[in-house]
Amino acid sequence: MSKKKIVAATGCPTGIAHTFMAAEALKKAAEKLNVEIKVETHGQVGVENALTPQEIKEADGVIIAADKDVNADRFHGKPLVDVPVAKGIRTPEDLINQIINGEASVYRASDYEGSSESNTEDTTTQHDKQTTSGKNWGHTIYKHLMNGVSHMLPFVVGGGVLIAISFLFGIYSADPENEQYNQFAKLLNDVGGLSFSVMVPILAAFIAESISKRPGMVVGFVGGLLADQGGAGFLGGILAGFIAGYIIILLQKLLKKMPHSLNGLKSIFLYPVLGIFLIGIIMTPIIVPLTGLNEGLMSFLESVQSTNPLLLGLIVGAMCGFDMGGPFNKAAYVTGTLLLSEGNLYFMAGVSAACIAPPLIIAFATVIFRKYFTKEERNAGAVNFILGSTHITEGAIPFAAKNPVVVLPIIMLGSAIAAILTYMFGVQVPAPHGGFLVLPVVTGAFQWVLSILIGSLVGAFIYGLYRKKAANNQPIKE
pTM: 0.74
Between 114-123, 129-138, 407-416, the lowest mean confidence (pLDDT) is in 114-123
Residue at 71 is within a domain: yes
Q: Report residue 462's pLDDT band, with 50, 70 and 90 as the boundaries.
A: very high
Q: Catalytic residue numbers?
A: 12
Taking the CB of residue 3, how many other CB atoms lie within 10 A of it?
Answer: 12
Residue 1's pLDDT is 54
Q: List strands edge to edge, sheet with 61-66.
A: 46-48, 36-43, 5-11, 61-66, 79-83, 105-108, 130-131
Q: Check whether residue 436 and residue 416 sit in a common domain.
A: yes
Residue at 126 is within a domain: no
- The CATH number of the domain where 74 resides is what? 3.40.50.2300
Residue at 127 is within a domain: no
The parent domain of residue 238 ranges over 139-302
Q: What is the mean pLDDT of residues 183-203?
A: 89
Q: Check whether residue 102 and residue 215 sit in a common domain.
A: no
For the chain, how many structural domains are there in total? 3
**pLDDT tens digits, one per residue of 418-457:** 999 999 998 988 777 778 877 887 888 899 999 999 999 9
- Sequence-distant (6+) residues with CB within 8 A of 62 are 6, 7, 8, 9, 56, 75, 78, 79, 80, 81, 99, 104, 107
Report, in this order, helix, strand and coil percent for the chain, each rounded to 5: 70, 10, 20
Q: Check whether residue 359 and residue 262 sit in a common domain.
A: no
**pLDDT tens digits, one per residue of 370-408:** 888 888 888 888 888 988 888 877 778 778 877 888 889
Q: Check whether residue 316 and residue 447 sit in a common domain.
A: yes
Q: Check whether residue 110 and residue 162 sit in a common domain.
A: no
Residue 326's pLDDT is 67
Domain termination site, one of 259, 277, 302: 302
Q: Is pLDDT larger for residue 143 or for residue 13?
A: 143
Q: Please state, in angstroms and rounded to a whole number, the distance separating the CA atoms of residues 478 and 322.
A: 29
Q: Check whether residue 75 and residue 148 sit in a common domain.
A: no
Q: Check whether residue 102 and residue 186 sit in a common domain.
A: no
Q: Check whether residue 366 and residue 423 sit in a common domain.
A: yes
Assess whether pLDDT exceeds 70 at residue 51.
Answer: yes
> Which residues pair with residue 6 across a beta bridge?
37, 61
Q: Check whether residue 109 and residue 200 sit in a common domain.
A: no
Residue at 188 is within a domain: yes
